[in-house]
Structure 1
Amino acid sequence: MKKIIVIAAALLLSACGFHLKGSQGLSGNLPYQHWSVSGGALQAALETALRRADGMPVAVNQAQADIAVTHVDNRREVYTITRAADINEYLLTLHVRAQASRHGKPLGEPFEVYAHRTMNYTDSEVLGKEEEGQTIWSEMYADAAEQIVRRLTFMKAAD
């Protein structure tokens, strides 16, 4: 009886379209396969995101198109405070602007992507919070890179 319930639950989950996050690629295809990446702080994250989307980061002279990060803005602001006027949470904000181009000509408008996270803060755990902050920033860079690549899939290839 338990086997039947487990099998029925598995069939229901697969029938509703449930997929683990990151287990499926992007819904669209990239307009070009070979990309030159000028990402600055997002270089590694953009190259990883392109590979996941079946793109290939290559050298400038072998690229069909370019993606360049033109602006990165990191902000850490006080989000909440306690009654004793101590900082309780920070709001971490990442704003990235990027431009896709082919042979020096821009492909569409520049992309602007944002990522926001909150980080709990305690004065007694300063060293641990520094490491946690670095982890959160790297996750936000990866998220911004995924957003940029997702927007690239909506572009049309130009001859």
Structure 2
Amino acid sequence: MYDTADSLTSKGGEVVLKVLCIGESIEATREVLKLRDIGCSIIISPSSEVVSELLGVNEFKQFNDFKLIIVVDGVGDREVGMRDIQHIRQSRWQDGPIIFLSPEDRESFNFNFNEGRVEFIKTPISVRDMAEVIARIADE
């Protein structure tokens, strides 16, 4: 469905993937804004609590359009990222796809990413590699 050679836009060029990013650090924002270059529509929220509330409100139709949530972990913010994932899994996004971006190694976390249905990606990552991962997850 997605043309990952250059972007995550459809063959016609329109944006077809809306991504919700959770993370308030400058690094988080910088990492995720790269996705605009590959055709993603991005909304950034500072916390999972805000997202959980919005996902729980049926009238807030905009959130029904999201295909993916990205949780961005800054250096030393390990507990914050894990907390964000737990909040999201307790919302209406119980089974939706989540990508967890972190500069730390996967083994640094006391969390089973496979069991939690979370795709772990060590940053930095190239935009092209990120596009391929997102396209694969969004198409599942």
Same fold by TM-score greater than 0.5? no
TM-score (norm 2): 0.40
TM-score (norm 1): 0.36
Q: Is the strand fraction higher in 1 or 2?
A: 1
Higher relative contact order (CA 8 A, sep 6+): 2
Q: Which has the larger radius of gyration?
A: 1
